[in-house]
Structure 1
Amino acid sequence: MQFIKQHTELARIIRERRSIKKGYNNKSVSEEIVTELLEDAIWAPTHGMRQPWRFIFVGEKQQQDFAKKIASTYPEEKQQNREDYLNEPSAILVVIMEKGDNQKKDDENFGATACMIQNFQLLAWEQELGVVWKTNPHIYDPKVEEILQVGPNERIIGFLHMGYFDAAPEKKERIPVRQKLKTFQIG
């Protein structure tokens, strides 16, 4: 008997979601919509129910000051470029994670936070809100951590650049699972 998979609505959204890196339109991204999406996104799997995440929302009213402050951590010749870059999206969500007190817990916390971010991206896509998870060098900079008041037992996981868009990028094909899957065999 051959198994024929019917794509569910969830599978369709997973396959259609794209990272929206540019081409944002002028529609504002409100803190309310981001909060609403996060209320569902945080239902990600989380080891020990640690829920190791917290967030900083940067909306249009704060964005220019935010971009200038973050850009100021770069060498002078790169500051204008970084400031312009951070002003491209309509809003930014900084995702901060609590570090684990050992490698296992740190990996678990990162995994949970990554799952939560994927949930957020899927929920946003469903609302036609584009998101891209950015891990630029500034997320590792102690000066940026100081600006954002990141605690000693925390780390920045990424900046989620967000904005509404008029045209989605073309899909990029995935390597077929059969090329990545093996069955365990003894001997």
Structure 2
Amino acid sequence: MLNAIDQNIMGRRTIKKFKSDPIHTEEIIDLLNVAKWAPNHTVNEPWRFQLYTGAGKEKFVQAFLSAMTLGDGSIPQKALNKAQYFRDIPVHLVAIMPEDPRQRRWDEDYGAISSLLQNFQLAAWERGIGMIWRSNDWIYNPVFREAIGVAPGEKIVATMMIGYPQHVPEKRERTDIREKLQIISE
């Protein structure tokens, strides 16, 4: 029998089409305050966030367009279309972590912020808020990174596009875990 947590995990969907209804900043802050309880070795909280909302979304969009600008100064139509799509999304959250040169620390930090982002998605879904976790090529572009103030030695883990779902996709089946599980009992 599935409990409420099981149902929320299995019911959450990636949302790509959003209603235009605003998401209040305090709601995002509340959700992040819940999400921060993710497992985090040494509780070093290896994350920081940038929230783009209202007129502030244009800074995010302009950073994207700058990263998409070609050598001749033109911007491909596909990028212009994507920029309009970004403008129409109520909220953008950029999740950033420090890139520690020690591999173990880097792995632990990445695991912690990824866990936080999953908590954030699940807590938001419970409140009727959907999102898509994006890690497109342009987040690695130095032009985009500099335009939004991401310093060398920091990694953009995700750009979370957030809003109330306009459309919730059907679930896609997953492989039974028995096919991916090796049990060692002796």
TM-score normalised over the length of structure 2: 0.91
Matches within 5 A, 1:63-78: 63-74=57-68, 75=70, 76-77=75-76, 78=78
SS at match of 1:73: helix
Cα distance, 1:148 vs structure 2: 1.6
Matched, 1:83 2:77: no
Which consecutive residues of structure 1, in runs of 5 or more, have no partner in the other structure?
Answer: 1-5
Cα distance, 1:69 vs structure 2: 2.6
Matched, 1:7 2:36: no
Distance 1:125-1:60 versus aligned 2 partners, 3 A rule: same
Give the share of equivalent positions with the same residue, in percent.
Answer: 34
Listed one character per residue, the Cα deviations across residues 48-90 of structure 1 (whole Å, up to 9, x for unaligned) are 1111010000002211342123212113225413312322421
TM-score normalised over the length of structure 1: 0.90
Q: Which residue of structure 1 lines up, in the alignment, with residue 50 of structure 2?
A: 56
Which consecutive residues of structure 2, in runs of 5 or more, have no partner in the other structure?
Answer: none
> Could you tell me how far apart the structure 1 residues matched to 2:181 and 2:132 are?
28
Q: Bigger relative contact order, structure 1 or 2, given CA contacts below 8 A and separation 6+?
A: 2
Matches within 5 A, 1:144-183: 144-183=144-183
Matches within 5 A, 1:12-27: 12-22=7-17, 24-27=18-21
Listed one character per residue, the Cα deviations across residues 81-104 of structure 1 (whole Å, up to 9, x for unaligned) are 331232242110000011123111
Q: Which residue of structure 2 lines up, in the alignment, with residue 3 of structure 1?
A: none
Please tell me the residue identity of whatever aligns with 1:140.
Y
> Could you tell me how far apart the structure 2 residues matched to 1:9 and 1:185 are?
32
Q: Which runs of 4+ in 1 moved over 6 A?
A: none
> Could you tell me how far apart the structure 1 residues matched to 2:85 and 2:106 are?
30
Instruction: Find 1:45's aligned residue among 13, 17, 39.
Output: 39
Distance 1:148-1:166 versus aligned 2 partners, 3 A rule: closer
Is 1:72–1:79's contact at 8 Å kept on the other side of the alignment? no
SS at match of 1:29: coil
> Could you tell me how far apart the structure 1 residues matched to 2:65 and 2:169 are?
28
> Could you tell me how far apart the structure 2 residues matched to 1:164 and 1:184 are?
44
> Could you tell me how far apart the structure 1 residues matched to 2:39 and 2:172 are?
27
> Could you tell me how far apart the structure 2 residues matched to 1:13 and 1:41 are?
15
> Could you tell me how far apart the structure 1 residues matched to 2:122 and 2:80 are?
32
Coordinate RMSD, CA, aligned: 1.5
SS at match of 1:19: coil
> Could you tell me how far apart the structure 2 residues matched to 1:167 and 1:148 are?
30
Q: Which residue of structure 1 lines up, in the alignment, with residue 129 of structure 2?
A: 129
Listed one character per residue, the Cα deviations across residues 87-128 of structure 1 (whole Å, up to 9, x for unaligned) are 242110000011123111111111111000000000000010
Is 1:71–1:82's contact at 8 Å kept on the other side of the alignment? no
Is 2:50–2:94's contact at 8 Å kept on the other side of the alignment? yes
